[in-house]
């Protein structure tokens, strides 16, 4: 795995880093119910550290804020912790790359993409993303970059050329997970990614059944629940059995509470991470903090996007 961009490091002892993150978490804490129900949710973010980035770049500013927060943490980890959490940062980089590619696909200019990027990304990758080239050429260079990391990344350019941008997003995400699960992971990261794969497979199954897709979709291996269970549920047109297996809320109960399936899955993953935060090494708390900030960005983005439609 390639390291993140070389950056000035200021290592903290793990217990001191955890203490600093607990303080930062308290300052970032939100009253989500109040924000969600407010006539102007953005006003409730005034004075919050993210407010500057929202004002500067809108929803893209949420990504900038998140990545800068991650960079701050990465710079202050000791070498052992950086190695442990490198797969997590790699996963987030992958999600952010898709955001940048989507913006390029929708016509954003190179300089606008460069403004979105922060020092967390490898400079070589930033240069590729901001080259004033066609998306085909950009993806060709990007695939070459990722092939220096692992041969598993071959093929996402072909997916785009043959089936369009949506296929690119799907195939690139699949390759990110395939690469991560092939690595030697700390056991807490291994469980985290397994649950994340389950979440993705649940969403794929749910959409396939709802849209009455004719052929079984591809489910990712490496989760807690075997892909065979998802394939079987698809063939039998039966979401209930696998829902019960995962302990998810029934659809009627979710609808009464206004909870989306994805939100239910995220909440369960977050709750599972929270159960370990008092283990003495600090690894579980840091993982929980990183994921909570990722979810915070997602929730804020959804609320602000929804409120923009009145």
Q: What is the pLDDT of residues 167-211, one digit of tens each?
A: 999 999 999 999 999 999 999 999 999 999 999 999 999 999 989
**In sequence order, which residues have a C-beta less than 8 Å from that of residue 272 and are 6 or more positions away?**
191, 195
Which pLDDT score, from 0 to 100, does residue 196 have?
95
pLDDT of residue 9: 77
Query: What's the confidence (pLDDT) of residue 309?
Result: 41
DSSP string, the chain: -PPPPP-------HHHHHHHHHHHHHHH---HHHHHH-SSGGGGGTTSTTHHHHHHHTHHHHHHHHHHHHHHHHHHS-HHHHHHHHHHHHHHHHHHHHHHHHHHHTT--HHHHHHH--TTS-HHHHHHHTSSS-HHHHHHHHHHHHHTT-GGGTTHHHHHHHH-HHHHHHHHHHHHHHHHHTS---HHHHHHHHHHHHHHHHHHHHHHHHTT-SSPPP--SSSSS-HHHHHHHHHTT--HHHHHHHTPPPHHHHHHHT--HHHHHHHHHHHHHHTTTTSTTSHHHHHHHHHHHHHHHHHHHHHHHHHTT-
Compute the distance between CA of residue 37 and CA of residue 39 in angstroms, rounded to an integer.
7
What pLDDT, on a 0 to 100 scale, did the predictor assign at position 296?
Answer: 84
Q: What is the pLDDT of residue 310?
A: 44
Look at residue 275 in the predicted model and tell me its pLDDT.
94
27-40: pLDDT as tens digits: 766 554 555 555 55
Note the pLDDT of residue 256. Answer: 56
Cβ atoms of 31 and 273 closer than 8 Å: no
- Ranges in the chain, pLDDT < 50: 32, 307-310
pLDDT at 304: 67
Look up the pTM and report it: 0.88
């Amino acid at each position: 795995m390639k390291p993140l961009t070389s950056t000035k490091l200021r290592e903290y002892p793990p217990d001191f880093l955890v203490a600093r993150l607990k303080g930062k978490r308290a300052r970032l804490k939100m009253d989500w119910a109040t924000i969600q129900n407010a006539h102007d949710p953005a006003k409730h973010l005034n004075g919050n550290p993210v407010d500057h980035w929202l004002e500067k770049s809108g929803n893209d500013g949420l990504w900038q804020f998140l990545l800068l927060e991650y960079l701050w943490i990465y710079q202050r980890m000791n070498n052992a912790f950086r190695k442990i959490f490198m797969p997590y940062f790699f996963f987030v980089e992958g999600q952010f790359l898709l955001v940048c590619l989507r913006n390029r696909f929708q016509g954003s200019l190179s300089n606008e993409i460069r403004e979105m990027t922060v020092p967390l990304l490898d400079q070589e990758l930033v240069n590729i993303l901001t080259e004033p080239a066609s998306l085909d050429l950009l993806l060709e260079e990007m695939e070459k970059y990722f092939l220096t990391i692992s041969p598993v990344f071959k093929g996402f350019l072909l997916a785009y050329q043959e089936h369009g941008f949506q296929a690119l997003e799907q195939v690139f995400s699949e390759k990110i997970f395939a690469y991560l699960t092939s690595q030697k992971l700390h056991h807490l990261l291994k469980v985290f990614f397994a649950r994340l794969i389950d979440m993705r497979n649940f969403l794929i199954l749910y959409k396939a059944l709802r849209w009455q897709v004719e052929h079984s979709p591809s489910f990712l291996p490496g989760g807690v629940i075997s892909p065979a269970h998802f394939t079987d549920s698809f063939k039998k047109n039966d979401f209930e059995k696998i829902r019960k297996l995962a302990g998810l809320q029934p659809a009627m109960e979710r609808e009464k509470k206004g909870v989306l399936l994805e939100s239910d899955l995220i909440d369960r993953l977050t709750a599972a991470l929270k159960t370990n935060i008092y283990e003495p090494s600090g690894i579980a708390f840091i993982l929980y903090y990183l994921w909570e900030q990722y979810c915070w960005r997602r929730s804020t983005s959804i609320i602000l996007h929804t409120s923009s439609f009145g």
